[in-house]
Every structure is written in C-alpha cells, then in structure tokens.
Amino acid sequence: MIAVTRGVAAGGLLNSGSNNIDIGYFVAGGSPNEANTIRIGNGDHNATFIAGISGASKLGTMTSSARFKDEIKPMDKASAAILALKPVTFRYKKAIDPQGIPQFGLVAEDVEKVSPDLVVRDKEGKPYSVRYDQVNAMLLNEFLKEHKIVQEQGAMIASQQKQIDALSAGLQKVTAQLELNRSAPQTVLNDR
C-alpha cells in the first residue's frame, strides 16, 4: 500500500488501496481498498482555496439560485457584445504547453475592448483570462433572440403562403373563365 497521509487520522480507513493522498483532520477515505484517489479535508469544510494554481481561485460549483443574486433582470441587448468577439485558434507558448496542442478560444485583450466585464484580471489589473462561463450565457441569450425571429418569420412565411395559394386559386379561376370566353363562338354584326 502506497499512501501519503497528513493530519490526525488521515487515511484511517485505508488498508489495501494504493496511490492515495489524504490530507486533513479525520480524512478517512471512501473504502478500505480505495486506490488512485486524492482526498483533502473532511465533510466539515465548505470552501477550498488552493494557492500555486494558475489563476488561484475557489474550487467548486458556482451557485445559480435566485437566493444568492441581487438585481436580476433580462439580459436584453447586453449580450450583443459577443457578436463583436473574434474567436481564434492558437497554441500556448512552450513554457505553458510544451506539446503545443492546438487550442480554440478568445484573446483576453481583444475581449477587453469589446466587453471589459468578460475579462479576468491579474494582480496588476492586466487582462489575464476570459470568463467563458459568462460567454455561454450571452450566447444563449443571442440564440434565443434569433430563435424568436426565426419563429416569427416562419409564421409570416406560412401566412404569405396561404395568401399565395388563395391568389393562385383565384388566378386559375380567372384564367379558366377567359379560356371559356375565348373558345365560345362570337357573332359580329356588320351594319354597313
């Protein structure tokens, strides 16, 4: 069994698992033979901050309940800014990604010019990253606006098609009547 444990009774339940890391006060582990698992803290903790990670921040799920929000209002035109964003392909510099894997995204400095609220800044206030989670919400808003337009246009097209069908039927009746009148013998009086 290979395990790294730090803290009172950390890893206390482990007896046959391997490659585990348990850190904290009474971090017991999930099962006696658990393997390849990292556990930090116990159930009493409610927030985790880890230094040394690029963009160190709180880990976890962002809340979305109205209980945690103020000033809730429709996004309306605020999302239109994303239409001016310029998605790019790129490779991170070798120091960040030695493999040079192709990436897709945005450049924070370019985003700042369009919508400063979408930019995460470093300690010096310089653009550092893009709040992609916010971009998704804006994309959804723009999609919904376009979807509404498409639905309205679909209804308009259906209405226009009915009018076209009615006009075509009327035109066919008039054409048939003209043909009938044309083929009927006509008598011309000659009064000389």
Q: What is the pLDDT of residue 22?
A: 76
Q: What is the pLDDT of residue 19?
A: 77
Quick one: tokens of 150? Answer: 């498409």
Residue type, 65: S
36: left (phi over 0), alpha (psi -120 to 50) or beta: left
Please report, in tens digits, the pLDDT of each residue of the chain (192 residues total).
566 666 666 666 666 777 777 777 766 666 777 778 777 777 777 777 776 666 555 667 778 899 989 999 999 999 999 999 999 999 999 988 889 999 999 999 999 999 999 999 988 999 999 999 999 999 999 999 999 999 999 999 999 999 999 999 999 999 998 888 887 676 667 776
The sign of the dihedral angle between the CA atoms of 60, 63, 64, 65 is positive
The rounded Cα 47 to chain-centroid distance in angstroms is 26
pTM over 0.85: no
Q: Rounded to 5 degrees, what are φ and ψ at 4?
A: -110, 120
Q: What is the pLDDT of residue 123?
A: 87
Q: What is the pLDDT of residue 36?
A: 80
Q: What is the pLDDT of residue 3?
A: 61
Q: Which 3 state secondary structure label does DSSP give 153?
A: helix
Q: Where are the domains of the chain?
A: 3-40, 72-135
Q: What is the pLDDT of residue 15?
A: 67
